A = this chain, B = another copy of it.
Amino acid sequence: MATINEIASKAGVSRTTVSRVLNDSGYVSEAARLRVLKVIEETGYVPSESAKSLRTKKSKVVGVVLPKISTETSSRLVKGIDDVLAAKGYQILLVNTNLSIEKETESLRLLKSRNVDGIILSATHVSNELQNVLKETNVPNVVVGQPYPEMYNVVFDDFSAAKELTNKLIENGHKKIAYLGVADTDYSVGVMRRGGVRSALEDANIQLPLEWDWSGTFDIKSGQDGMKVIIEAGLGHPDVVIAATDRLAVGAFEYLKHKQIEVPKEVLLAGMGTSELSRYVIPSLLTIDFPIEEAGKSAAELLLTQIEGKKTISTKVISHRLLE
């Protein structure tokens, strides 16, 4: 690997001059610049990022912390982030916490030790400790997916989304409505989406029976389990089942298909978050599209404005839309 010294001596200049042409900084005579560029060209020299980073405390690397690496949400988020970051010459250092909270905070220190220029964290819950560690690292950052007060934040309006979806169903004349949700540990998906559904039902004076207000996890299997509970609750079939996520809806569909209950004729399914899966699997799915890629882009943009020196905290709410 060539170094700046070799380039300098081959070009007959000091390494200071080489550095100047590399960074387009300070004055360099045209003649010197050309000699240097020629040598760089010939040798295929690429400056050591480690040395630059040690010196400048910058790295052109952004850490992206994910709770799970292999989900459609994660990969769409990373895609959006990468689209805007790559255009500005940044690379992504991936951290998979595997839902471990310790790994989350630990990884933040590690990222800092690598002089990353910024951190984007996809959150699964709201935590004071995480917020503190994030602030302590003193690295520009943005949190995606859960509301963190006084931080750069990219979120969806989960409450309104769930409420709109539910309202739409009520408008369409549905009265017997069941809900497949997730636990309250997840604020956005657990608390807010359930809250939106309940609020819409209340406004319309529709009862949500306890047995039809299910709490599960994020996987397809859980949707099947929940659907089973609802069907076996002894309250008859609901007109429509609203699922907090599209994977839950897919699970519900699988159970209904298995029981030969026709979708959408006997039971209509509604979900949130357009996975490719649900789009092809479930007939007449009514769903809320959360444009994850756009959230990724916004997160990257918010990060860039911080890196570039602006420091006004801001929350970006990505708008959703209803799809039939």
A interface residues with partner B (beta carbon < 8 Å): 1, 44, 46-51, 53-54, 59, 61, 69-72, 74-76, 78-79, 82, 86, 91-96, 109-110, 112-115, 250, 254, 276-277, 280-281, 293
Residue pairs across A and B with Cβ atoms less than 8 A apart, 15 shown, are: A46-B112, A46-B113, A47-B113, A48-B115, A51-B54, A54-B54, A69-B75, A70-B76, A72-B72, A79-B96, A82-B94, A86-B96, A91-B110, A250-B280, A277-B280
Q: Are B91 and A91 in contact (CB under 8 A)?
A: no
Copies in the complex: 2
Compute how far the CA of A79 lies from the CA of B78 in the bound complex, rounded to whole angstroms: 14
With the chains together, A59 CA to B49 CA distance in Å?
Answer: 11
- Interfacial chain B residues near A281, Cβ < 8 Å: 280-281
Measured between C-beta atoms, what is the minimum distance from A294 to chain B in Å? 13
A93 and B92 contact, CB distance less than 8 A? yes
Neighbour of A115 across the interface among B50, B109, B113, CB < 8 A: B50
User: Chain A's interface: helix, strand, loop or mixed, by majority?
Assistant: helix
B86 and A79: CB pair below 8 A?
A: no
Which residues of B are found within 8 Å of A113, using beta-carbon distances? 46-49
- Give the residue name and chain of the B residue nearest to A280 (CB): B281
Closest residue on chain B to residue A44 by CB atoms: B109
Q: Which of A47, A54, A70, A91 has the largest count of B CB atoms less than 10 A from its CB?
A: A70
Complex CA–CA separation, A95 to B109 (angstroms)? 23
Task: Flag if B86 contacts A75 (CB, 8 Å).
Answer: no
Contacts of A293 in B (CB 8 A): 70
Q: In whole Å, how far is A115's beta carbon from the nearest beta carbon of chain B?
A: 5
Complex CA gap A126/B59 in Å reads 32
Shortest distance in angstroms between A92's beta carbon and chain B's nearest beta carbon? 4
- Please tell me if the beta carbons of B70 and A78 are within 8 angstroms of each other in the complex: yes
Closest to A292 in B: B70
B61 and A69 within 8 A (CB): no
- Which residues of B sit under 8 angstroms from A86, Cβ to Cβ? 96
Alpha-carbon gap, A86 to B69, bound state (A): 12
Residue in chain B with minimal CB distance to A276: B277
- Cβ–Cβ < 8 Å partners of A74 in chain B: 75
Residues of B within 8 A of A92 (CB): 93-94
Indicate if the CB atoms of A112 and B1 lie closer than 8 Å: yes
Among B70, B72, B91, B250, the residue within 8 A (CB) of A95 is B91
Contact: A49 with B115, CB < 8 Å?
A: yes
Contact A69 B82 (CB under 8 A): yes
Can you name the residue of chain B whose Cβ is closest to the Cβ of A46?
B113
Task: From the candidates B47, B70, B95, B115, name the one contacting A75 in the complex (CB within 8 A).
Answer: B70
Bound-state CA distance A79–B71 (Å) is: 10
How many whole Å from A282's CB to the nearest CB in chain B? Answer: 9
